[in-house]
Structure 1
């Protein structure tokens, strides 16, 4: 990794990579290495713990960082923030009954958006929303309990996003304090969703949240 990730406390750092197996172990190793680099301490001074609900957190010198970890077959992602609770998710783009799944699980406006797209674009669009919902649940510390799949997230505009979309997370409808974003990575073969919870922030007192996304 070049330099220290996330030197600005308003920056959420997201690191991702493809793998050939053992995603869980590699995600843990990347998290510890990245946290140590961010804090400028030896890796031995940072370790992984878990909150009562199961959400991963860091112990030792990493106790002040907010982190999230995700992995799927062939890919992993982590998110780190010095300020905000964060969530991350990653999914491989694959064939899905996207329109039917959207109608079953998502907010009606989101399901209608997916159903209105050309069929070949629907799986990626479904995962665009799914990964954000997963990330939001992690950032809030609630997962997808209590209707998390129905929790609306920002729809992308335009669709499909260009090759270099702006890395600016957007507020959830009706929730100024929760922001999310999804990105196509690995030439569109995977989607990474990111969210943060500006817990305790004042609506009018916050500047722009920055996102740093890198392949490692």
Structure 2
């Protein structure tokens, strides 16, 4: 990581790393220390609280960044921004019963897209959509409740997708944007979502792989 940059008002910073255990605790530590670097305050003055719906918030300061965190087996991610409610998710790429899952859980157009891909690409494509839906739910503060899995997210403009996070409006919901990116040489998928109408190009996203030991 280059220095200790923090997110500017128009920037979303996503930090991710791998870990050999205790992903939840490591994610909490990474989030607090990243927030402390952003705010240029001692980490001892910050705490991690949660809203009633479960969304994490940084306590201990008057103007804290909006944050989100996620962890999976062996990997975790955090997101910070001053701009808008944010959600992040991470999934380990693995073989799934992608056709059945897509037909059971996704919007029909999404299921048609997943099942129309070559079979070897369907699992990662399903996760590419799943992480966005998880992220949208986190950004809104209520997870996948209220029909979160069936809510459509933007399909990729091309596949394999771009190697960058560029949130785009959800179909029929211009106040929500999402995107996903494949990282770690194809081993992980990161999803990101923002709440609030965003002009095209108005938000920059920075994705950094970090060493968890640097934030221990």
Common topology (TM > 0.5):
yes
Task: Give the corresponding residue for 1:5.
Answer: 5
In structure 2, the partner of 1:46 is 46
Choose which of 157, 169, 173 in structure 2 pairs with 1:175.
173
The RMSD of aligned alpha carbons is 1.6
User: Could you say which residue in structure 1 is the equivalent of 2:111?
Assistant: 111
Which residue in the other structure is 2:154 paired with? 154
Q: How does 1:1-216 map to 2 (within 5 A)?
A: 1-61=1-61, 63-162=63-162, 165-198=163-196, 208-216=202-210
How far 1:62 sits from its partner (Å)?
Answer: 6.7
Q: How many residue pairs align between the two structures?
A: 210
**Is the partner of 1:149 in helix, strand or coil?**
coil
Distance 1:44 1:121 in 2: 45
After superposition, the C-alpha distances for 1:65-124 in whole angstroms (9 at most, x for unaligned) are 111010000100000111210000000011101011001000000000001001100000
The Cα offsets for residues 35-88 of structure 1, whole Å up to 9 and x where unpaired, read as 000011111111101111221111012753111010000100000111210000
TM-score by length of 1: 0.92
| Unpaired stretches in structure 2, ≥5 consecutive residues | 211-216
1:156-203 C-alpha deviation (Å, 9 max, x unpaired): 1210125xx3432111111111111101011011101000101xx5x7
Q: Per the alignment, in what secondary structure is the counterpart of residue 6 of structure 2?
A: coil
SS at match of 1:89: strand
Q: Secondary structure at the match of 1:144?
A: coil
Distance, in Å, in 1 between the alignment partners of 2:78 and 2:9 is: 17
Q: Distance in 2 between matches of 1:166 and 1:130?
A: 17
In structure 2, relative to structure 1, the CA distance for the partners of 1:37 and 1:89 (3 Å cut) is same
State whether residues 70 and 88 of structure 1, in contact with CA within 8 Å, keep that contact through their aligned partners in structure 2. Answer: yes
Structure 1 unaligned spans of 5+: none
